Chains A and B, each alone.
Chain A
C-alpha cells in the first residue's frame, strides 16, 4: 500500500497510466454542456502545454503567475509548470493593480497565464513596470483578436508549439518529469495578510502531497468523489481540494460555467465532497431565509416548525445523547417534507463530507446545516500548514472546537496561549522574507497566531486571533470575532466590527446586508434611495436592535463572556469593502485600519452621544467624485 512519495507530475503520469480513458479527471461546463476530460486527456493537455512552454525557453525554477477563475486550462498550466520544474504562483483574480504589481515583481515571474481579456489587460498594464515578465499566455481569446504582440500567446497556440517540440524532442517531457524531486518547491502561495505586503509561502511537493494523503486517509475519501472547483485558485484550500487531493485520490473536479452559475451547476453535478469558507455558508443560509419569506404562510410555518425539530435533534446528537422516539419520528417526517427537498434544492443531496474552513464559523450557521443532515465539518488550517491542521472527525463533533489534528501532526500550546504545530506539511519559509520566516517558523514549529487550547477529548479549540483577544477595563475577556460571528448569523447583518479592547464595554459597527434588508424593507413598503438611506431608517435600527439583543442573550449564557455583551451599536453608512482596504479579499476585518479610519465613530460610541456625523468621498468610474454626508444614529442595546 505504501507507495513511494512522488511529485505532482509523476502522480499525473501514474494516474494517466492506471485510469487511462476510463475515469474523468476534470469537467467544465462550456456552452451549456459539461465537457469531460479523462486522466489521459489531462496528461496530454498538460504535456502539450509544458512542451510549448519549454520551446519558449521555460527553465527549471522559473516562476509562472496564474490568474483567473477555475478553468481546466489553468489547472493544466499549473501542472505543466511543475512538470518542467517550474514554480506556479496563483493570484487572486480580483486583485488590484498594486497587489499584482507587488507579487509579480516579488516572485520574479517570467511567464503568466491569464484566463481572459480582463486578466490579460491587467497583466499588459503591468508588463512595462515588471520587466521580468516575458510572456503572457491567455486561455479565452474573446476580445483579444486585435492585440498583436509577440509576447502575447494563446493557450492553444502554446500547445501547438508543444506538439511540434515533442516531435523533435520525444523524451524531453518524461526526462523533465523524472528530474523532479519531492523536496523541490511545488508552489508559492501569497497570503493576503491583514497587515503589510503579502507573503509568499513556499511549499514543496512533499509538504502538499503528504498533507493531502493524510487528509484523505483520515476522512476516507474515495476515487469516486465529485468536487466543485469554484474558490480562488490562489487560496491554498482550492489547491489542496481541487488539485492535490484529486491527483492523489483520483477523483473528479468540476469547473462551473461562470462564477454566477455556481449554485445551479452544483445542482447538476451533485458534489459528494464540498468545501466553502464560512462566508459562503452564511450566504446560502441568507438566501434560504429570504426565499422562505416569500413562500406561502403554511410553508413558512412548516419550515420553522421542522427547523426547530432538527435543531433539537442535532443538539442531542452532537452531545451523544439518545434521541427520544417521538423526536426521531418527527425528524424523519421533517426529512421527507422539508430537509430533503431543501438539501436537494441546494445541490447538496449527495454530499458525504462538507467542510468549512478559512475562518471561524458562527455556531448557529454550523448547526443549521448539520441539523438538515449535511455532514458539515470544520477544518482548521492555514497556508503555512499546506491548508490542513485539524479536521472534525465523523461522529466526534464538538461544534465549539475545530476537531482533531491530522495524522503526523503535533500540536503544542505556547506559554502565551498561542497554538503551535509541527508536521510534514509545514512550509519552507516565506519567499525572500527571512525576518518573517524567523518570526513564524521556529525549529519546524509554526506559530499559528491563533489563541486556543486542546480540550480533554483532544480537540483543538480556537478562540480568536491571539493578537485580537484582549480584555475590557474590568478584566472581562473580549474576543471580537466570537461576537461578530454571532451577529453575522443574522441574515440582515453582512459584516460586524466589535470594539472593546481596554474599554468599559463592548460596542459594535454593523453593516447591513443590502439585499436582505432591502427585500425586508420593500415588503413593508419602506421606501429608500440608497444603502446609506436604508441603513438609517428607524425601522431598520429596530430590526437590528432585536438581533443584538438576541446575541446578548446568548452571550449571557457563557460565564466567561457574560460581561462582554454589546451595549451600544451603530449602522455604518457604507459597506466595508476590500477596495477601500477595510477588509481583506478573503473578507477578514482589518481592525487597525478600521479603528483609525472610523476613529470619530468609535469615539462617539464611547462618549454617550446619540448620533455622529460622517463624511465619505466616493470616486466614480469616470473620475468624478462626490462627498456624502450622513448622520449616523447610535443606539443602546439591552443586556441580560
Chain B
C-alpha cells in the first residue's frame, strides 16, 4: 500500500566501521509517510547505530540519506536535523532529572519558539502568546499520554516506565515529521509495554506521526508495526510485513531461534 508513495526518508548504501568492526554494511532503508516501521535484530546488529546516523550523531563512512526527497548534508549537526523534523527518544533515559514533567516536555517545543530570551523574561506580547500556544500543545500531549497526575513531579521521582512516557511526550510535542524511538519498551513490565504500544499506535493513527522504532519484544512489535527491517551483524537480511518476516527462514535463524524449535 505504501510502495507507490515517495518515501519520507531514504537511506542508501549506509556503511560505517568502528575500528575494524563493520557496524553497518551497505544498508538501504526506506520509511514511508504514515507508517510504523520497526527495526529489529539481535544485540549489536547495528540498530541504534542506524538511528544515530539518521539523526546526525554519527557520520557514515559511505552512503547518502534523503529526507523528503532532499539529500541531508553530511556535515549537518543533530540539532539542524531535528529542526528539519526528525525527533527521537533514547534507549537510556535523557531527561532533566530535577525538572518537573511539564518543563521536560516543554523543552520539546524549543525548536518552535521564536521569541528571544529577553522578551521571554518580560513575558510580553509575542512571548505571552507563544507561551500559551506552546503550553496548549504540551497539555494536549499530556492528555494524550494520560500523565496529568505527574505534571508537577520532578523526573527523578518518577518510576522508570513513566519517565519513558515523559520522554515520548517530549518527542511528540516537537511535532516531528519522523519520530525515531529507540527501544521505547525496554525494561518495562507487560502492562507498561501494552500502554506504550497503545500510545505508539494512537500517535500513528490519531496524530498521524510516521514512526520508526527499535524494539526487542517481538510480540509487541509484530502487533503494532506495518513493516519491519531485520538487521544482523550490520547487514539487512530481510524486510517486509510482520507476517512475511515471521516466515522468513533467514530471520528465524538469526533472531527468532531455530525453526520449529
Q: Do A and B come from one complex?
A: yes
Interface of A with B (CB < 8 Å)? 30-33, 142-143, 145-146, 257-258, 260-261, 264, 620-622
Q: Which single member of B142, B143, B190, B202 contacts A143 (CB below 8 Å)?
A: B202
List, in ascending order, chain A residues with CB within 8 A of B206's CB: 142-143, 145
In the complex, B198 has a CB within 8 A of chain A: yes
Evaluate contact between B151 and A142: CB separation under 8 angstroms.
no
Evaluate contact between A258 and B205: CB separation under 8 angstroms.
no
List, in ascending order, chain A residues with CB within 8 A of B198's CB: 143
CB-based nearest B residue for A144: B206
Evaluate contact between B190 and A258: CB separation under 8 angstroms.
no
Interchain CA distance A173-B146 in the complex, whole Å: 37
How many A-B contacts if CB must be within 8 Å? 37
Evaluate contact between B202 and A258: CB separation under 8 angstroms.
no
Q: Given the known inter-chain contacts A31-B139, A143-B198, A145-B206, please indicate yes or no for A258 contacting B149, CB distance below 8 A.
A: yes
Evaluate contact between A260 and B148: CB separation under 8 angstroms.
yes
Q: Given the known inter-chain contacts A31-B143, A32-B142, please indicate yes or no for A261 contacting B205, CB distance below 8 A.
A: no
Interchain CA distance A264-B147 in the complex, whole Å: 13
Evaluate contact between A142 and B144: CB separation under 8 angstroms.
yes
Of residues 115 to 143 in B, which have CB atoms within 8 Å of A's CB atoms?
135-136, 139-140, 142-143
Evaluate contact between A621 and B148: CB separation under 8 angstroms.
no
A-B contact pairs, 11 of them (CB 8 A): A32-B135, A142-B202, A142-B206, A143-B201, A143-B202, A143-B205, A146-B205, A621-B190, A621-B191, A621-B194, A622-B190
Evaluate contact between A32 and B139: CB separation under 8 angstroms.
yes
List, in ascending order, chain B residues with CB within 8 A of A143's CB: 198, 201-202, 205-206
Interchain CA distance A30-B142 in the complex, whole Å: 10
Interface of B, helix, strand, loop or mixed by DSSP: helix
Interface of A, helix, strand, loop or mixed by DSSP: loop
Interchain CA distance A373-B177 in the complex, whole Å: 56
Interchain CA distance A260-B140 in the complex, whole Å: 17
Task: State the Cβ distance, A328 to closest chain B Cβ, in Å.
Answer: 38
List, in ascending order, chain A residues with CB within 8 A of B144's CB: 142
Q: Which single member of B148, B191, B194, B202 contacts A257 (CB below 8 Å)?
A: B148
CB-based nearest B residue for A29: B148
Q: Given the known inter-chain contacts A31-B140, A31-B143, A620-B190, please indicate yes or no for A264 contacting B205, CB distance below 8 A.
A: no
The CB with the most chain A CB atoms within 10 A, among B135, B149, B201, B202, is that of B149
Interchain CA distance A32-B143 in the complex, whole Å: 9
Interchain CA distance A620-B194 in the complex, whole Å: 14
CB-based nearest A residue for B143: A31
Interchain CA distance A31-B194 in the complex, whole Å: 24
Interchain CA distance A622-B217 in the complex, whole Å: 14
CB-based nearest A residue for B136: A31
Task: State the Cβ distance, A105 to closest chain B Cβ, in Å.
Answer: 29
CB-based nearest B residue for A257: B148
Name 8 extra pairs, CB < 8 A, besides A32-B135, A621-B194: A32-B151, A142-B206, A143-B202, A258-B149, A260-B149, A264-B149, A621-B190, A622-B190
